[in-house]
Amino acid sequence: MSSIQIITLQMEEAYQAHFNALRERYFPAHANYLDAHITLFHHLPLEEPAIAATLADVARRGPLTLTVAGIVNFGKGVAYRLVSDELQLLHQQLQQAFDPWLIKQDRQALRPHITVQNKVTSFKADYVHKTLLEDFVPFDMRATGLQTWRYLHGPWKALTVFPFQK
């Protein structure tokens, strides 16, 4: 078993179902073994109790509002771009708390997104990007908590949910 954990932002159930359905439709079936997610940290030690304590502490805040602001074609796939000043501040706070354990990727500025297609040709990504843009209108959704996952060299195993309290 891996000793690495991933931290994601939990979204409202209706939007979780919406983005899962988009992944079912556009993600290659052989590579679609995760639900839609918003990754905050990719590689933290699982055994470090200070991480869970920090997540429990910051979860005392209320839900965050995220604006689903656009759709991005990143060459081999498509993702929905998220915007939230509140989320950026929360991420910076967590980066400070997790500083001793951060890898280079997790030290970078957060570019929040939800990937609905990956590991495809640029032709397929272009097609899906254009298709999704046809009726896209920006909208808001709520983030309802933080979640930890054990990384299993591909799939993830859900560990703990820290729901936002207020």
Q: What is the pLDDT of residue 2?
A: 56
Q: What is the pLDDT of residue 161?
A: 97
Q: How far is CA 42 from CA 29, 79, 104, in A?
A: 23, 17, 10
Range of the domain at 25: 4-163
CA–chain centroid gap for 154, Å, is: 15
Q: How far is CA 19 from CA 1, 8, 25, 68, 80, in A?
A: 29, 15, 10, 11, 9
Confidence of residue 1 (pLDDT cuts 50, 70, 90): very low
How far is Cα 63 from Cα 20, in angstroms, rounded to an integer? 21
pLDDT tens digits for 116-160?
Answer: 999 999 999 999 999 999 999 999 999 999 999 999 988 899 999
Domain count of the chain?
A: 1
3-state secondary structure of 70: strand
Q: What is the pLDDT of residue 153?
A: 86
CATH number at residue 130: 3.90.1140.10
